[in-house]
Amino acid sequence: MSVAESEKELSVYESMAARFDVAARKLNLDEGLCHYLRMPNREIIVHIPVMLDSGKLAVFDGYRVQHSIARGPCKGGVRFSPHVTLDEMRGLAAEMTWKCAVVNIPFGGAKGGVVCDPAKLSQGELERITRRYTAEILDYIGPERDVPAPDMNTNEQTMAWIMDTYSMHVRHTVTASVTGKPLDLGGSRGRRAATGRGCMIATDQALKRFGWKREATRVIIQGFGNVGSQAARLMHEAGYRIIGVADIGGGIFNTHGLDIAQLIEYVKEHRTVRGFPGGESIGPQEILEQDCEVLLPAATESVINSKNARKIKARILSEGANSPTTPPADDILFERGVFVIPDILANSGGVTVSYFEWVQDRQGYFWPEGMVNERLKHIMVNAFNDVVGYGERHNVNNRIAAYMLAIDRVAFSIKLRGIYA
Ligand code: NAD
């Protein structure tokens, strides 16, 4: 059971809708348009039959929710988790629309997932789930329609299977059908680290506003998967002091700073940060409440909620995960003067480099890593300044500013296109 459920806080969709309503009201958005933008364009539910290694037939529920195509094809991750729900997909798909609009790239939002526990499945079973899921949603995806990407418990290999399945059906190789692929199959240089790098770029901008130096900045990171480990590695290399890291198995804490390169090696072997000898052990929730300058949640949603928001000591919250903070917690953090870099800005580096990957695949021309990172920085710095500037001009917090900016951009595209009847 997630924290949101146990506390009867808002669901992922309800959280998105609550923020959307505040932003839409402030924008004086037309009522009909408001209704249209609040709901997804399309929701696909599939039931995936898969032969398990045991010879037993199992059926898994899968979803793909497409929120908006107003500014371009849909874009969004596919997650494998026992906690996937249609409500979660709805909320995250809409957030993808706002995220793409915040960084001003020509995509709308989507999200997909399969209700399964990857820890209990073999590689062969995961491959069969992925391929059948892809086949079930095939008519609705593709480079011009909807482009999946990795998310929780999915990775480059999953994307290679989706790309291959799609390509086999359309009878030619379509590398632009997914992003986050292996480099050898048309992936982009810099994609693997892009979300973590984006978090660092956004955090750097916040530091500038505070006049702080990286070396004097203590960082705590919850989640040590793709986003958390890459953010930790890059921030450590850039001079930040990473004093705490946690994953689902436990956490590790050292006020003098953790050796992230060693921690990455440790995790390769032990599959968790728990037990790393370079620090003291700490719980994955408890770690959020420790004294630090920057807190970077990079695990799962609703971890910062009305129960613990008052105990958060960080001055900057850089949201690597999607929806890590509930709306009631938002209000508490705002009251307490925490500078929040909202998820749709802080973790938009991944979708930005996914956009670069899609562009490169369509051109068949691949960029060096330096160019990818430089263009990512350019987009992220502009987006950060757009959001923070918008918030200052309209006297709203960064989250509502990001929503207002994004909704305004999407609404403008819809007005230009008109409503097809
Ligand atoms: P991942 O599966 O690679 O890693 C998730 C990490 O979080 C793991 O270390 C896991 O142990 C940890 N975790 C899970 N539940 C936890 C809990 N309750 N407490 C502490 N740790 C917990 O996933 P990822 O790709 O790194 O994504 C993490 C978050 O970032 C998700 O919210 C995802 O939607 C978001 N995100 C990912 C990307 C991307 O490019 N991968 C882009 C944007 C946003």
The whole-number pLDDT of residue 6 equals 44
User: CA geometry: angle at 60 spanning 108 and 109, to 5°?
Assistant: 5
| CATH numeric code, 40-185 | 3.40.50.10860
Note the helical H segments in 44-85. Answer: none
Cβ of 153 closer than 6 Å to ligand 1, yes or no, is yes
β pairing state of 294-297 and 218-222: parallel
Assess whether 111 carries a catalytic annotation: yes
In angstroms and rounded to an integer, the radius of gyration of the C-alpha atoms of the chain is 20
Question: Which pairs count as long-range contacts for 267-274, CB under 8 Å and 24+ apart, including other chains?
Answer: 267/224, 267/229, 272/247, 272/248, 273/224, 273/245, 273/246, 273/247, 273/249, 274/247, 274/249, 274/250
Cβ of 284 closer than 6 Å to ligand 1, yes or no, is yes
Q: Where are the domains of the chain?
A: 40-185, 189-421
Q: How far is the centre of ligand 1, averaged over its atoms, from the C-alpha of 222 (Å)?
A: 9
Enumerate residues 6+ apart whose C-beta is below 8 A from 113: 62, 63, 78, 79, 80, 81, 84, 88, 89, 151
- Encoding tokens for residue 100? 């793409």
- C-alpha 203 chain-centroid distance: 16
pLDDT at 372 over 50: yes
- Encoding tokens for residue 97? 């629309």
DSSP string, 112-144: EEEE--GGGS-HHHHHHHHHHHHHHHGGG-BTT
Query: pLDDT tens digits for 391-409?
Result: 999 999 999 999 999 999 9
Cβ of 344 closer than 6 Å to ligand 1, yes or no, is no
Biggest CA-to-CA distance, the chain = 64
Domains 40-185 and 189-421 share a fold: yes
Nearest Cα residue to atom 22 of ligand 1: 248
Residue 273 alpha carbon, nearest atom of ligand 1: 9
- Asked if 222 and 302 touch (Cβ cutoff 8 Å), the reply is no
Separation of alpha carbons 94 and 128, rounded Å = 28
Under the banding of pLDDT at 50, 70 and 90, the label for residue 2 is very low
Cβ of 229 closer than 6 Å to ligand 1, yes or no, is no
Cβ of 298 closer than 6 Å to ligand 1, yes or no, is yes
DSSP string, 315-350: SEEE--SSS-B-HHHHHHHHHTT-EEE-HHHHTTHH
pLDDT at 5 over 50: no
User: CA geometry: angle at 289 spanning 284 and 294, to 5°?
Assistant: 100
Percent of the chain at pLDDT > 70 equals 98
3-state class of 388 per DSSP? Answer: helix
pLDDT at 361 over 80: yes
The whole-number pLDDT of residue 364 equals 97
Can you name the residues that pair with 64 across neighbouring β-strands? 44, 112
Query: Can you name the CATH fold of 189-421?
Result: Rossmann fold (3.40.50)
pLDDT at 9 over 80: no
> Which of these is catalytic: 99, 111, 181, 377?
111
For 32, other C-beta atoms within 10 Å of its C-beta total 9
Residue 228 alpha carbon, nearest atom of ligand 1: 26
pLDDT at 8 over 70: no
3-state class of 188 per DSSP? Answer: coil
pLDDT at 262 over 90: yes
Cβ of 235 closer than 6 Å to ligand 1, yes or no, is no
Nearest Cα residue to atom 30 of ligand 1: 321
Q: How far is the centre of ligand 1, averaged over its atoms, from the C-alpha of 152 (Å)?
A: 6
The whole-number pLDDT of residue 231 equals 98
Q: How far is the centre of ligand 1, averaged over its atoms, from the C-alpha of 321 (Å)?
A: 6
Nearest Cα residue to atom 43 of ligand 1: 347
Residue 251 alpha carbon, nearest atom of ligand 1: 20
Strand arrangement of the beta sheet that strand 146-150 belongs to = 42-51, 57-66, 108-115, 74-81, 146-150
pLDDT at 158 over 70: yes
Mean pLDDT calculated for residue range 209-221: 97
The whole-number pLDDT of residue 10 equals 83
Query: pLDDT tens digits for 82-101?
Result: 999 999 999 999 999 999 99
- Asked if 131 and 167 touch (Cβ cutoff 8 Å), the reply is no
Mean of the per-residue pLDDT values for the chain?
Answer: 96
- Asked if 209 and 195 touch (Cβ cutoff 8 Å), the reply is no
The whole-number pLDDT of residue 301 equals 85
pLDDT at 142 over 50: yes
Q: How far is the centre of ligand 1, averaged over its atoms, from the C-alpha of 227 (Å)?
A: 6
Report in angstroms the alpha-carbon separations of 343 from 237, 274, 352. Answer: 23, 26, 14
